[in-house]
């Protein structure tokens, strides 16, 4: 059976359907939390941001204008703004030396450890990017959104998105690729 | 931007795919505590279900039944028009009505010739 759209669930929630809140939470909260965690680099703060973003979704539900925007686009945008506010207020910046040590190449679950190390290395490297570049790279290459959708989330043009992601990837490559062999990747 | 970043070959950026894939696989999952908090917020913020409107009495129930019987207000309008037309004919056009009336009753016609003939026939018969 076809799943109801996010918008249909949101409208059902606004009309008092209690099941809809659970369905929406299971569907959207992981994405919001993932985006916040990558943007902020702190799990506890990311959870606070995710809760706040979802709270704003519940509050907007009665006034949601059908067909005007995608729920996910709206939510990504709210999350991004909340993250930016937090980072701006805290003035935090994670140094690259927070990148974890490469895994011990001894036998065992090396592949999984290498994957974990790569993910952690990427998260640390992402924190080296300016906020806008980081946001664009996360939305494009981890969340898998299209450039036009990212443009709507970030309220910029598609060309600006392409420029941000290109510059972000160039810097990530400079930071991460020299560690490829240490992170369980061949140079080939 | 540092010079070495500008000169980074584009092909090298493809090497980032393994990092992005690892990050996707390692996406954080919401804890039960976070799920519970979000659902509690949802419950607090949820509007009350809209009550179903109470059945209202029929808007036409106060109509006398005869109005409904003649087709409702359009029927009443037609009946009023006919009534006014009759009144107007009666008040404003009495001569015409008179002409019409004798045409129907036969007043003013000379039936003498016909009567004579009729008597002749009757006598003969």
Q: What is the 3-state secondary structure (H, E, C) of A72-101?
A: HHHHHHHHHHHHHHHHHHHCCCCCHHHCCC
Inter-chain touch B8–A174, beta carbons under 8 Å: yes
Residues 6+ apart with CB under 8 A from A159: none
pLDDT > 60? residue B9: no
Cα separation, A4 vs B20, in Å, equals: 30
Cα separation, A22 vs B36, in Å, equals: 10
pLDDT > 50? residue B125: no
Angle at A127 between CA A87 and CA B15, to 5 degrees: 155
Task: Label residue A10 by pLDDT band (50, 70, 90).
Answer: very high
Give, as one character, the DSSP assignment of residue A181. Answer: G
pLDDT > 80? residue A118: yes
Cα separation, A22 vs A16, in Å, equals: 12
- Tell me what pLDDT residue A120 has: 87
Task: Point out the residue among B8, B19, B46 whose CB comes nearest to the CB of A118.
Answer: B19
- Tell me what pLDDT residue A45 has: 93
pLDDT > 70? residue A129: yes
pLDDT > 50? residue B25: yes
**Residue B11 sits at the chain A interface (C-beta within 8 Å):** no
Residues 6+ apart with CB under 8 A from B28: A30, A33, A34, A37, A43, A46
pLDDT > 80? residue B74: no
Inter-chain touch B23–A122, beta carbons under 8 Å: yes
Inter-chain touch B6–A170, beta carbons under 8 Å: yes
Residues in chain B closer than 8 A to A29 (CB atoms): 30, 34-35, 38
pLDDT > 50? residue A104: no
Structure tokens at A69: 């925007």
Angle at A99 between CA A98 and CA A101, to 5 degrees: 115
Q: How buried is B120 (Cβ within 10 angstroms: 0-12 exposed, 13-18 middle, 19+ buried)?
A: exposed
Task: Point out the residue among B16, B42, B50 whose CB comes nearest to the CB of A172.
Answer: B16
Half-sphere exposure of B99 (CA within 13 A, CB side): 4
For residues B103-116, give the mean pLDDT: 51
Cα separation, A52 vs B86, in Å, equals: 78
- The pLDDT tens digits of the residues spanning A52-79 come to 999 999 999 999 998 888 999 999 999 9
Q: Which residue of A has its CA nearest to B31?
A: A47
Cα separation, A47 vs A55, in Å, equals: 12
pLDDT > 90? residue B111: no
Instruction: Kindly state the greatest CA–CA separation across chain B.
Output: 146
Inter-chain touch A33–B1, beta carbons under 8 Å: no
Inter-chain touch A37–B48, beta carbons under 8 Å: no
Contact A57, B45 (CB under 8 A): no
- Tell me what pLDDT residue A133 has: 95
pTM: 0.64
Task: Point out the residue among A37, A51, A121 whose CB comes nearest to the CB of B38.
Answer: A51
Place of tokens 């810097």: A171
């Amino acid at each position: 059976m076809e799943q109801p759209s996010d918008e249909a669930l949101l409208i059902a929630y606004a009309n008092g359907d209690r099941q809809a809140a659970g369905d929406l939470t299971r569907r959207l909260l992981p994405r919001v939390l993932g985006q916040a965690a990558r943007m902020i680099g702190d799990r506890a703060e990311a959870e606070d941001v995710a809760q706040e973003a979802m709270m704003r979704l519940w509050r907007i539900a009665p006034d949601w204008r059908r067909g005007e925007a995608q729920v996910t686009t709206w939510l990504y945008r709210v999350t991004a703004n909340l993250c930016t506010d937090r980072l701006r207020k805290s003035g935090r910046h994670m140094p690259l030396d927070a990148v974890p040590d490469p895994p011990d190449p001894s036998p065992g679950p090396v592949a999984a450890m290498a994957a974990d190390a790569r993910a952690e290395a990427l998260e640390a490297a992402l924190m080296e990017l300016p906020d806008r570049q980081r946001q664009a790279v996360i939305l494009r290459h981890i969340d898998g959104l299209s450039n036009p959708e990212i443009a709507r989330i970030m309220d910029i043009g598609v060309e600006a998105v392409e420029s941000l992601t290109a510059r972000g990837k160039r810097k990530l490559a400079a930071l991460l690729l020299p560690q490829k062999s240490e992170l369980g990747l061949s140079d080939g | 931007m540092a010079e070495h970043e500008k000169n980074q070959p584009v092909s090298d950026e493809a090497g980032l795919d393994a990092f992005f894939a690892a990050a996707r696989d390692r996406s954080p999952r919401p804890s039960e505590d976070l799920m519970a908090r979000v659902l509690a917020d949802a419950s607090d913020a949820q509007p009350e279900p809209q009550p179903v409107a109470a059945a209202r009495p029929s808007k036409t129930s106060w109509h006398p039944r005869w109005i409904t019987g003649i087709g409702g207000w359009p029927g009443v309008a037609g009946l009023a028009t006919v009534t006014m037309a009759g009144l107007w004919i009666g008040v404003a056009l009495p001569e015409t009505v008179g002409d019409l009336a004798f045409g129907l009753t036969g007043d003013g016609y000379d039936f003498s010739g016909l009567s004579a003939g009729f008597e002749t026939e009757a006598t003969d018969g």
